[in-house]
Amino acid sequence: MVKVDVVGARGRVEDPAALIETLRSVNGGEGAALDADMVCGRDHLCSAAMHALRAFGRGDNVSSTLAVETVLFASGERQIAKALKKVCLRAGAERVALVLFDVEDVNAVLKALDLERDDEVLAPSREKAKRFGITDAELEAVPPDRYQELVLERVAFAGLPK
C-alpha cells in the first residue's frame, strides 16, 4: 500500500522546476507540488491522490507517474498542459501544496525544499473554489462549509471518460 502525505507549506519558490527536481531526489519517495491557492481543502488533494492511485491500479492512468496523475485529478483536467496551467507552481509563489508518496520523513522534504509547514494554506474558501472554476451560481446553491465538495465533484469527474 502506498503511503500518502498531504502537506501545506510556506516559502518563496523562485524556481519551480528546481523545487520539483529536489522533491524527486529527497527520501526516495515521489511527490507533486501545486499552487496552494488552487487547492480547496486537504480533502481536495487526498481525493486526487486516491483517484490517481485507483487509475494506476486499474491501468487507465493517463500519465506515466503517480505525481502527474495526481496533478491531473487535482486540477479537474485530463490534459497535462491544461492541468499544469491551472494548478502548477509559478515563480514567486509563497503558498505550496505537497502530495507526497512513500516519503519516509516529511520534515526532511520540507527542509530540503526550504519550506515551512503550514497546513492552513490548504484551507478551502469561496475564492479558491472560484479560481478552480466553480461558478457563483454553484456556490450560492450550497452553504460555505460545502464549497470544497463542489471541487471534489470536479476531481471525481476528471476520471470519467469523455
Domains, in order of start, for the chain: 4-123 (3.30.2380.10)
Q: How large is the C-alpha radius of gyration of the chain?
A: 15
**Please, which pLDDT band fits residue 25 given cuts at 50, 70 and 90?**
confident
Please give the pLDDT value at position 155: 81
Please give the pLDDT value at position 143: 93
Instruction: Answer yes or no: is pLDDT of 77 > 60.
Output: yes
DSSP letter (8 states) at residue 88: B
More confident residue, 104 or 37: 37
Instruction: Answer yes or no: is pLDDT of 123 > 80.
Output: yes
**Please, which pLDDT band fits residue 89 given cuts at 50, 70 and 90?**
very high
Q: How far is CA 58 from the centre of its chain?
A: 21
Instruction: Answer yes or no: is pLDDT of 12 > 90.
Output: yes
Please give the pLDDT value at position 160: 57
Name, in order, each residue with C-beta under 8 angstroms of 94's C-beta and a sequence gap of 6 or more. 10, 11, 12, 13
**Please, which pLDDT band fits residue 28 given cuts at 50, 70 and 90?**
low
Is-contact 127 18, C-beta < 8 A? Answer: no
Residues 19-32, mean pLDDT to the nearest whole number: 83
18 CB-contact burial (10 Å; exposed 0-12 / middle 13-18 / buried 19+)? exposed
Instruction: Answer yes or no: is pLDDT of 124 > 90.
Output: yes
Instruction: Answer yes or no: is pLDDT of 144 > 60.
Output: yes
